[in-house]
Amino acid sequence: RVDKESELKQLDTASEARGRMEDALKDYLSLVTAMRTVDGWQDLYADIEEVVKTIKRAIRSGKEVEDEDKDKPKA
């Protein structure tokens, strides 16, 4: 039991994990934004911008964001 409690204490809290995830996503978005003028990055940038816009609209309206592609077959 002591070993299990010790293992649990070493795990990050949800707040810590969320903070690291937010930082990683911001870094990734910054990279994609910086690379958007390089051939091959435009489509990824456009897709991510659409996702960001959808999320911002949903947050403003208080709605939950739904995955529009969840029922589409994957290529």
Q: What was the pLDDT predicted at 73?
A: 61
Token pair of 74, please?
């994957």
Residue-level pLDDT, tens digit, the chain, 75 residues: 777 777 777 778 888 899 999 999 999 999 999 999 999 999 999 999 999 999 999 989 887 766 666 666 655
Three-state SS for the chain is CHHHHHHHHHCCCHHHHHHHHHHHHHHHHHHHHHHCCCCCCHHHHHHHHHHHHHHHHHHHHCCCCCCCCCCCCCC
